[in-house]
Amino acid sequence: MRVTKISLNGFRNLEPAVIEPCDGVNIIYGNNAQGKTNLIEAIWLFTGSRSFRGAKDSDYLPFKKNFAGIELCFFGQQRDQTAKIAFHAGNKKILLNEIQQKSVSGLKGNFNAVVFSPDHLSLVKDGPDERRNFLDTAIGQLMPQYSRYISAYNKLLLQRNSTLKDAQYHSSLIDMIDIWDEQLVKYGTAIASARLRYINLLSPLCEEIYSGISKGSEKMTMSYCAGWFDKPIEEEIPREKIAESMALALKNARKNDLVQGSTSVGIHRDDINIMIDSVSLRAYGSQGQQRSCVLALKLAECGILYNTTGEHPVILLDDVMSELDNSRRDYLLNHLKGRQVFITCCDKGYFKDLQAGKTFYMEAGVISEDTE
Report the interface residues with Mg ion, using CB under 5 A: 36-37
- Give the DSSP letter of residue 350: G
Closest approach, Cβ 118 to ligand ADP, in A, equals 11
Distance between CA 197 and CA 55 in Å, rounded? 29
Q: Which of 291, 295, 293, 288 is nearest to 315 (CA)?
A: 295
117 lines the binding site for ligand ADP (CB under 6 A): no
Q: How far is the CB of 232 from ligand ADP (least distance, A)?
A: 38
Q: Note the helical H segments in the chain.
A: 36-45, 122-125, 128-142, 145-167, 174-213, 239-260, 281-284, 287-309, 326-334
Identity of the residue, 31 or 308, whose beta carbon is nearer to Mg ion in the bound complex:
31
Site for ligand ADP in 193-252 (CB under 6 A): none
Query: Which CB, 156 or 367, lies closer to Mg ion?
Result: 367
Collapse the DSSP code of 36 into the 3-class scheme (helix H, G, I; strand E, B; otherwise coil) and give the result. helix
Burial of 186 (0-12, 13-18, 19+ CB in 10 A): middle
Query: Taking CB under 6 A as the rule, which mask of x and - marks residues 4-43 in contact with ligand ADP?
Result: --------xx----------------x-xxxxxxx-----
How far apart are the C-alpha atoms of 182 and 66, rounded to whole Å? 43
**Residue 62 binding target from Mg ion, ligand ADP, none, CB below 5 to 8 Å by type:** ligand ADP
Residue 18 near which of Mg ion, ligand ADP, none (CB within 5-8 Å, type-dependent): none
Residue 196 CB, nearest distance to ligand ADP (Å)? 36
Nearest distance from residue 62's CB to ligand ADP, in Å? 4
Shortest approach of ligand ADP to residue 33 CB, angstroms?
4
Site string for ligand ADP, 62-91 (x = CB under 6 A): xx----------------------------
Would residue 339 be called left, alpha or beta, if left means φ above 0 and alpha means ψ between -120 and 50 degrees? beta
Least distance in angstroms from the C-beta of 203 to ligand ADP: 33
On the 0-12 / 13-18 / 19+ scale of CB atoms within 10 A, 82 is: middle
The SS3 assignment for 21 reads: coil
Length in residues, the chain: 372
Chain residues that interact with ligand ADP, rule: CB under 6 A: 12-13, 30, 32-38, 59, 61-63
